[in-house]
Every structure is written in C-alpha cells, then in structure tokens.
Structure 1
Amino acid sequence: MPISRRQLMTGGAGLALAGGLTTACGSNTGRGGGGSDRPRLSQWYHQYGEAGTRQAVGRYAAAYPHADVRVEWRPGNYDQQTAAALLTSSGPDVLEVNGPTLDQIQGGQIVDLTDLVKDVKSDFSQAVLAPKTHDGRVWGIPQVVDTQLLYYRKSLLEAAGVRPPRTLDELVDAARGLSNSKVKGLFLGNDGGAGALAGTPLRAAGLSLVTPEGTVGFDDPAAARTLGKLHRLYADKSLLLGAPTDWADPSAFVQGLTAMQWSGLWALPQIKKALGDDFGVLPFPPDGPAGRPAVPVGAWTAAVSARSEHREAAKAFVKWLWIERTDHQEDFALSYGFHIPARTSLAAKADRLKKGPAAEVVRFTTEHGFAAQPLLWTPPSQTTYQDALNRIIKGGADPGSELKAAVRKAEAELRRVRKGS
C-alpha cells in the first residue's frame, strides 16, 4: 500500500462536499431498518483496488448481530471526504481514516477508543499504534499494516557481480554498476525518490522526522551527509526516471527496466507471479556509524465520528470487527490484496507470511519498522521537508543549507502543534 499524504479540507470545496454527503452512493447490507430495534450504522471505506475487498467488508457488516450496518465505498479524494464528513452529523458513524490527523484529534472530531484496545494493546506493534496515540489515548484501531521495501533482481545482480547492498554506499555503487543502455540500476519513483522515500533515509542515518519529545529529529550533520548520497544516485544517472508507472506499481521492475525498485509489500504477489524466485527483498540500507535498516510502515485505521448519534453502538461494532473477529482481520489482510495483519499474533501464524520473501518482510517490519508519518508531522512540515529533499536530489542543492531552512520551518510548526496539545 502507498503511504498517501494527508490533505485538509479548505474553503468552499469542503462546504460543497459536505452538502452532498447524504446522497453519496453506497451498498446496503440488506438487513433493513424498518421495525428493527437495532441501531442503523453507516461505515465508510476508501476505494480499494483489490478485487473482492468491497464484497468482503459487506459480508463482515452483514454478519454483525447488534446493528444494521450500511457500508459505503467512497471513490475520489477520500482524505478530503472524511475531513468534511467529520464536521457534520450526516456523515458516517464508523470510518476508515488515513490517520487520524492531529487536527481531528485536537478538534474533538473522533472518539477516544482507548478502552477497546486495553486488553490487546501489546499485540499491536508500537510503530503502527504510535501515530494513532495522543496524550496516552488511542484514537483509531489499525486495520492492516503496509510497508515499503527494496526489491532486487537476483539474476541481474549476479550477472553484474554485484551483491545485495548492505549500506547506502553499497546501494549507490550497486545502482551505478547495474546501469547500462537497457537497464537502470534503481527506481525510486519518477521524481527521483523525494515522494516515496520521505523520512526513510533519515531513519537509515539513525535520525527521525520528529523526536519522542516533539522536536525536529534531523537537526544533525548526519542528515545532510545521507541525503547528499541520494543526489549521487541522480548525478550518476543510475535512477530510472520517466517510467510508464510510478514507484507503487512494480511494472518497471518486472519488465526489466530497472534492476532494483523501491515499492510496497502490496507488489510482492505480482512480482512473484512474473519472476518466480528471481528476486529478493531488503530494508532501506543503513548509513553511517549510527545507521540502521529502515522499514517505513503505515496503517489505515478504523475510527468513530464524534458527531455520530450512535457512538457507543459504533464503538461496539469497531471492537467486534477489529479486535474480536480475528478471522475477518486475517481475511481482510491476505485474501484480496497482500498486507500484514495489524495484530502481531495474526501475522505470526498466517500461512502466506511464513516463508520466502513474505516472511523476510514480516521480520524486517518487526525488527526495523518505524512510523512513516508521525502524528506530529503535519502537512506544512511535510511539504517543507519534501521540497528540500527534491531540491537536494534533483537539483544538487547543498544539503546542509536546505536542511537548515527546513529545520527552522518545521520547528516553528512543531511549536504550534505542541502548544495546541
């Protein structure tokens, strides 16, 4: 799964969207509301691309005995739709969120779900649960875990005498050694990597976007050193640019346009089908004496709207589906797309995750996973940092100067966020 950037609703577009919420199309579970003493709940999902997912969530809803649950499948800009929906009582009771965002938590737009996870909190990895937690309270239940990783073509590396890279320096050298007139060494996305990698190289250097204390985590010379190496990839012409599809799609890799590609776990079945055993997987490699392998993780989250007229019933449904019904949770993660169940106990026993590259990815995620989008890392900070990263990678801008300016702007935003807390 690609880890998308959160967007906030603005101005007239939000009002227009909010006005159209009650007429949005959906799929009724068929249970009917007339004459029933059970509450009627509306549940939203973003539009998954994986066949069968929509039918599956309808089955889960229909199986719930204590409420009539109406599932709505929401195409289009889902982040904007949910931002608007949380401001009106005509929105859903239960909804997937790409977050929740700090603004939604601080604005009282979603319900505290801490009591739902109290008995199973340790069964969620901290990297996944931390961005859903604020002031010690849990505001959303992770549904599945998605992660990003480095795929490499075994046969191409062997033919070039290149071993799978264990450090960032080795990745730079490998990409150069694998590039020729027909194949590029590495694909990080058509923008050169700024969008896909985000804070991952900082993690590889032993740093972070935000510290546990809520301050900028990359005000360190190691950040400039590491990000400067990403420009070497671009300057060496080792990067595939202008591919027919972007980094989230493995087409460039399976078609032999690149020997290595940064993509997501969701791409693994397609790669396996096309290449058999001719591929391997790696974390983003460490850099420097404090470096460590880096595996960014994220999770779509089940939340309850604070404007719901049936908040307790909605919480009970979320607990049933995402805490109690582990069979539905495993089915949702692995029967349609390819994700890691949010519960570590389920991931450990899932047959499809027990061997080969899939098992390696689960191990990488357990040992090296970190939150790709920290809760305090708001869109203004993200934009500031990513713009700087883009100028470093493609423009060859001085990493030290770019990061100094990004640190100053991000710290001002973090001060604003901490004050609001």
Structure 2
Amino acid sequence: MGLKRILAFGAAAMMSVASLTACSGGGESESGGSGGDLAGDIVFWSSYTQGPRAEYMQEMADRFMKDHPDVNIKIELFSWSEFYTKWTTGLSTGNVPDISTALPNHVTEMIDADALVPLDDVIDVIGRDRFYETALAEGESDGAHYSVPLYSHAQLMWIRKDLLEDAGLEVPQTWDELSAAAEKLTDGSVFGLSVPMGSNDMAATRFLNFYVQSNGEALIDEEGRADLTSQAALDGIKYFTDLYKKTSPEGSVNFNILDQATLYYQGKTAFDFNSGFQIGGVESTTPDLLDAIEGVPLPRMKASDPIYGGETSNLPMVVWKNSKHPEVAKEFLKTLYRDEDYIRFLKSVPVGMMPSLKDIASNEEFLQDPYIERFRSTYDALNEVIPLGTSIGMEDGPCVQAGIIVSQGVIEKMFQDIVLYDKPIESAAKEAEDSLNNMFEAAGALN
C-alpha cells in the first residue's frame, strides 16, 4: 500500500532488548550489550510522554549510554496522534527514527510500507517462549516478526460492587443480566451503562466487537471483509441502541473513550468496559470509590459459555529499516526486558500495564505490589483474557482492515444514524458495511 493510502487509512486507536538469559534477565554486560564495541547516534521516538514511564525510558537510555560511551540516544516525545502523523509523513523524506514505540495497527502499516527490520533475533535472546503467541503474531509477516510487545492490557467489564450489593444484584455474567442490572441501577443520579457513539473515536466499535465476539464471530470475516449484517452483529447493534435509550446519558451519543471513562471515574455509571488503567482514573478522580470497583470478565451469551478475549492491546516496540545503526537500537531494546528493570517499568502503572512476558506475570517480586494485592481478582481476570484476545479486526492475523475499522468512525456514525435519525438497523448496518468494504478495497486490502 502506497504512502497516500497509509495516510488515508491508517489506524489511530484510543486509546518493547545485549544478550540476556531467557528467564533470569541476566546478560553479558551491565547494559546487556556485548561490551564497549557499540557506537553511533540513534533517535528514539517515544509516546510515553508523561510521568514515571517517560522518566524510566530516559533513565534506561542514560544507563545504556554510560555503559557504551560511543553511543548517543536522543529521545523525542510525541503523543500517539502526533506520532502517527510524524512517521507517515516522514517516510517520504526518510525522517523516521531508529527505534520507536508503536500501536499494533501502526505496525501492520509499517510492515506494508517496508519500513521496519525483523526482530526475531531480539525475540530469541529475550526468550521466544516467554511471550504470548497472540502478542507476537500481531507483528508477524511471512514468517518474520517486526515488533516486540512491551506490555499488554485487555478489556474487562468494570462494576460498582457497592451499587450491586445495595440493590441485591449479583455480578452480571451475561448480556441479558447486564441489561437488566443496568436498567435497575439507572436512577437519575447514576446511569447503569453509558453507551458511547462519538464519531471521532472507536468506542462504539469496541462495544459492538465485544458482543459479536461473545457469539464466536468477528467484525471482519475470514475473507477480510467487514461483516456488520450477521445476525450476531445486528443483535449487538440493537442491544446497544436499546441500552442507549434506557441506561445512558443523552450526551453519550458524542462520547469518546475518555468521556466514557470519566463518567465511571466520577462514580456516575455502574458499569463500563475498559482496561486496568481504570484504577488510576478512579483513584485520581474519586479515590473514595476505589474499594468499590472491580474488573470482571466480559459478558457472555450464556453463563456457561467460556471466557473470551474480547480485545487485547499489546503495545510494541519497533526498529526502523532506515536506521544507520540498527544493531545499537536492537541492543538498547534488549535492555528494556531485563527482569528487574522490566518489573519496575510495569509497576509505574500497576494492573494498567500488564506483562507481555508470561513468567513475569507470576513473578513473586512483581506480584508484591500494593495495587496488585488490592486488585488481585482484577489482575487475575486480566491475565486470563490477555492470551485469548487480539486487537479489533486481527483475529485472523495482522491486516490493514483492522486499522481502518477502528479509525474511520464508520460504526460510530452508524449508531448515530440509528439513534438520532431513526434509520432502521438493517439498512444502517448494510450501509456501514458497504462503506467499510469500499475503504478496504481502496486500500488494496481485498483481493
């Protein structure tokens, strides 16, 4: 796919190392490098722009440069939206970094643009079997892996335990139970479940994806085409439009992910769907509610149905093909996975940033964290679903369509047409499906 198509159809979702042994995190030198033979200037574009995560990356760069005096690492910070614009426009001029953070859908486009170098050698040094297979698969093309997941997070249903207890309700396990509980808990001061439909975001796509996944289906079929007219998709559209009318604030028709989360942070919704980052949001907004929140598995069609993934995001690191010193970038990348440092990085947002390394998820040192101990049931729920899920649209592997379906607001507009203009569900779904497939075809993603 050419640059113009990358710019037009790229993903913008809302919203990772010197040798070391496979399990101990040890290495040949303090930085994990091969000694003092590394040299060169490298640029690291990072979207970890604030607080402890930014400080951690700078500290790791400073340590690496101290161990390798002939290396200079310059970190440049960009928000995710800025980063996407920066790298897509930079491809034509060669103004791209040596190493960077990325989003899973970015990686698909970067591979398609032949912008990255394979990282199988890095993965093998860290320990290939330490990673979740689904996380590695998101950066795979023709047998090579072009990204390394740094951390993971997955979507859960967030509940208010106090509201459920006061109403004499059990934690919902099915969609029917959720709708009944949400209706009962909507009382004028609290909304049972806000249903976000803002067209500048992917929140409605996320919600519909959960419902469709619980039916064992997907929004993109095995042939790579959008599928919004399956019975599961139509039932899901009706489910959420009904709940919008019964349990949601009217303004949620324009909510994005942050708007949606903020209502839960403020204690104004009984249920929400989000990742472990929800804990930090509640703590900073309404800390008195912290003991009343919990993340549980997503609703199922029947309580006896198995737990499913829904949506897992694996935040990757990449090394750029344009780099003059890819060997330096790779050696620095390896150091980020040394156990002691990797654990420290994850604990900068405990329960929010979950390990992409399976052995770290059960590491006793990692588990000795007050937030993990306090929210252990949520932590365990996340660990259960992380290996089961993928980014939206990547159930059958990386594809450009996955970026389009979450970035173009087509599903969100479909919901708005239904609730604001009374468009029939079937015709709105068919129109949105056709629109997405036209975009897929224009991007060269359909045969």
Answer whether TM exceeds 0.5 for this pair: yes
Task: State the Cα distance separating 1:150 from its structure 2 match.
Answer: 1.9
Paired with 1:316 and 1:396, the residues of 2 have a C-alpha distance of 57
Aligned mate of 2:214, from 204, 212, 219: 204
Paired residue for 1:174?
181
Q: Specify which of 336, 360, 368 is matched with residue 346 of structure 1.
A: 360
CA contact 2:151–2:353 (8 Å) conserved in 1? yes
Q: Does 1:55 align with 2:69?
A: no
1:305-355 deviations in Å (ceiling 9; x for gaps): 111111232223223334xx2322222222246310221211222214465
- Percent pairwise identity: 20
The reply to whether residue 361 of structure 1 matches residue 353 of structure 2 is no
Of 288, 296, 300, the match for 1:282: 296
Write the mapping of 1:164-313 to structure 2, written as runs, cut at 5 A: 164-189=171-196, 191=198, 193-194=203-204, 196-197=206-207, 199-211=209-221, 214-216=224-226, 220-236=230-246, 238-242=247-251, 247-248=257-258, 250-271=261-282, 273-287=287-301, 293-313=308-328
**Which deviations, in whole Å up to 9, do the C-alpha atoms of 1:253-310 show, x marking residues without a partner?**
2433122222331121443643242222223312369785444111322111111111
Label 1:420 to 1:227 Cα distance change in 2 as closer, same or farther (>3 A): closer
Q: 1:418 to 1:346 in 2, by over 3 A?
A: farther
8 A Cα contact 2:156 2:382, kept in partner: no
Shift in Å, 1:415: 5.7
Shift of 1:144: 1.2
**Alpha-carbon shift at residue 395 of structure 1 (Å):** 5.1
CA shift in 2, pair 1:133/1:319, >3 Å: same
Distance of aligned partners of 1:304 and 1:60 in 2 relative to their CA distance in 1, 3 Å threshold:
same
Q: 1:137 to 1:219 in 2, by over 3 A?
A: farther
Moved more, 409-418 or 173-182: 409-418
Distance verdict in 2 for CA 1:195–1:248, change over 3 Å: farther
Residue 426 (structure 2) aligns with? 400
Secondary structure (helix, strand or coil) at the match of 1:111 reads: coil
SS across alignment from 2:318 = strand
Q: Distance in 2 between matches of 1:388 and 1:408?
A: 12
Change (3 A) 1:370 1:286: farther
Q: SS state of the match for residue 287, structure 1? A: coil
Matched with 1:28 is none
2:12 matched residue in structure 1: none
Give the superposition deviation at 1:91. 2.8
Question: Which residue of the other structure, out of 124, 135, 143, is the alignment partner of 2:142?
Answer: 135
- How many residues align? The count is 386
Q: How far, CA to CA, are the matches of 1:410 and 1:291 in structure 2?
A: 30
- Distance in 2 of aligned mates of 1:210 and 1:226: 15
> Is the CA contact 1:8–1:79 (under 8 Å) kept in the aligned structure 2?
no
Aligned 8 A contact 1:86 1:305 in 2: no
Q: What is the DSSP-based 3-state SS (H/G/I as helix, E as strand, rest coil) of the residue aligned with 1:277? A: helix
Residue 58 of structure 1, CA deviation: 0.7
Worse-superposed segment, 264-273 or 221-230: 264-273
> Contact 1:154/1:280 (CA < 8 Å) preserved in 2?
yes
1:91 aligns to 2:134 (yes or no): no
Q: Name the stretch that deviates more: 368-377 or 342-351.
A: 368-377
Aligned partners of 1:231, 1:399: CA distance in 2, in Å?
9
Contact 1:93/1:310 (<8 A) preserved:
yes
**In 2, distance between residues paired with 1:168 and 1:419?**
33
Q: Could you tell me which runs of 5 or more consecutive residues in structure 2 were left unpaired when the two chains were aligned.
A: 9-36
Q: Kindly provide the amino acid, as one letter, of the partner of residue 261 in structure 1.
A: D
1:73 is aligned, of 77, 89, 103, to 77
Q: 3-state SS of the aligned residue for 1:174?
A: helix
> Cα–Cα, structure 1 residues 329 and 114, in superposed 2: closer, same or farther, change >3 Å?
same
Offset of 1:42 from its aligned partner?
A: 1.0
Tell me, in whole angstroms, the C-alpha distance in 1 between the residues paired with 2:445 and 2:262. 45
Equivalent pair of 1:187/1:247 in contact (CA under 8 Å) = no
User: Is the Cα contact below 8 Å between 1:187 and 1:261 reproduced in 2?
Assistant: yes
Q: Which amino acid aligns with 1:305?
A: W
In 1: Cα distance, 2:422 partner to 2:175 partner:
18
Question: Residue 319 of structure 1 aligns with which residue?
Answer: 334
1:134–1:187 CA distance, 2 compared to 1 (3 A): same
Whole-Å Cα distance in 1 between the matches of residues 346 and 213 of structure 2?
26
Judged with a 3 Å threshold, the aligned counterparts in structure 2 of structure 1 residues 419 and 340 are, in CA distance, closer, same or farther, namely: closer
Residues 280 and 55 (structure 1), Cα distance of their counterparts in 2 relative to 1, 3 Å cut: closer
- The Cα of 1:239 is off from its aligned counterpart by 1.1
- Cα distance change, pair 398–178 in 1 and its aligned pair in 2 (3 A): same
Q: Is the 8 A contact 1:248 1:267 kept in 2?
A: no
Distance of aligned partners of 1:70 and 1:254 in 2 relative to their CA distance in 1, 3 Å threshold: closer
C-alpha displacement of 1:186: 1.3
Equivalent in the alignment of 2:29 = none
Flag the 1:388–1:189 CA change in 2: closer, same or farther, 3 A: closer
Query: Is structure 2 residue 346 aligned with structure 1 residue 333?
Result: yes
- Counterparts in 2 of 1:410 and 1:252: CA distance versus 1, 3 Å: closer
> In structure 1, what is the Cα distance between the partners aligned to 2:239 and 2:191?
17
